[in-house]
Amino acid sequence: MGNPERQQQPRFVLVTGTDTGVGKTITTAALAVWHRRAGRRVAVVKPSQTGVGPGEPGDVDVVRRLADVEHGYELLRLPEPLAPESAALRSGAVLPPVAELAERTAAAAVASGADVLLVEGAGGVAVRLDRDGGTVLQVGKALRAYGPVEVVVVARAGLGTLNHAALSVAAVRTAGLHAVGVVIGAWPAVPDLAATVNREDLPRITGLALVAAIPAGAGALPPEQFRHRAPSWFAVP
């Protein structure tokens, strides 16, 4: 993919979550639309994709379809719907170390000419991506050699999210990474009391801005509608 040190430094945005199934992929697609609307060239990388068989569309394909992103890269695929380390142990696959994942991610930025490279993690912040315990946060730390790194934390709307979000943001900060905001990955059409209060309390509890609340079911929108509506979901200009 080329030498990442020869190109002007891209901006890396890690999209991680408080758990699995919180809406990271749809958030990544919405962020791609938002950055493209601002005139930035965007690419997306999924370091570890699990739960998808050969020839089946993965998370990168969802982002490319919804956000009309030309350049998408999936670095590793394991078919069982488990954490990457667990899936690899069961299959006998050899996981690349996070330093290699970071190097290949940076190389993708060069190959795509991206100003912003969105990196979608697997599960939450502590999910292991290699057999040495490396996580998406370690990928982020390694990426700092190639450009500035920001972290977006995707959270649920409902009860329990304040605790999960606070722990996740604390882990990001402990890793020495810059968390820029929280996104509610699936905002219900009819929010209950817990969701309504959580939306108000997430900034206070985490110390981060709530940058977006993405409507539940947004991923089922036709791509043209998704791209038209996505900018309105963000609370920042």
Look at strands 149-155 and 178-187 and give their pairing.
Answer: parallel
Q: Tell me the two tokens of residue 14.
A: 């890690």
Report the Cα 43 to chain-centroid distance in Å.
12
* Distance in angstroms (rounded) separating the CA atoms of residues 81 and 50: 5
Query: Looking at 36, 46, 71, 227, which residue is catalytic?
Result: 46
Q: Is 141 a catalytic residue?
A: no
* Distance in angstroms (rounded) separating the CA atoms of residues 104 and 112: 12
Quote the longest CA-to-CA distance of the chain. Answer: 52
One-letter amino acid for residue 225 of the chain: Q
Q: Tell me the two tokens of residue 1.
A: 């993919």
Which positions are annotated as active-site residues? 46
